[in-house]
Structure 1
Amino acid sequence: MHAQLASWIAAARKIVVFTGAGISTESGIPDFRSPGGVWSQSQPVFFEEFLRSSSARDEYWRQKSITHREFASAHPNLGHRVLADWERRGLIRGVITQNIDGLHQQAGSQAVLELHGTAREVACLG
């Protein structure tokens, strides 16, 4: 299987890699949906709830304080570093990720599209 993947990469001209929680679990970042994941311990707070309810905002920021600590102590792993190296060498065009942890960028990837946003920065809504 590895030889087949290597030959596909060598023959391809434009590769984009899609990643999800699995790439970051090795770095100590929990996933959201598995048993023991983030959503097994608390429910997501949706944007409309956040705007409407002070208790929803309290819950959102409680959850964020936990994930920010986990993200702050996490470091890119071999998977993140390999993808950054492949981008530098021109083997891939970039990474599209469901992750919000910023580990692809910490590893050196430049062309990263974060489908669910990022936890690396916070913007005031007004």
Structure 2
Amino acid sequence: MMAMKFKFTHNNINVLNLEKSLKFYEEALGLKEVRRIAPESGEFIIIYLGDGVTAHALELTWLRDRTEPYNLGDNEFHLALTVDDFQGAHEHHQKMGCICYENEAMGIYFINDPDNYWLEILPSSMG
């Protein structure tokens, strides 16, 4: 048994268009920039987004020299977020046109970001 205690701090995804991704994450999920790393060389920018509630962050990494879309394979990995107004969130995401999969039997759905990463949306009761 381990004596050390680990705790989650962030998840990273790489994005092609940083401004488009920042706009999406704020509009779709209310995530806002909490920290930025941008060396003078301009070769990369890392932005941490927070939900304003938990300490967990989503790290967006933009690489200046990257022009090809990222290969997400089968895209079976995802981040999950709970929301206090599930129906309102669903209507908002439907208007944005970003719902990519719904599982009505489980009471969940997924949205996809500009780079096609999937994000699972759950009602608060399932968190």
Greater strand share, structure number: 2
> Where is the helix percentage greater, Structure 1 or Structure 2?
1
Q: TM-score, normalised by structure 1?
A: 0.28
Normalising by structure 2, we get a TM-score of: 0.27
Larger radius of gyration: 1
Greater relative contact order, per chain length (Cα 8 Å cut-off, separation 6+): 1
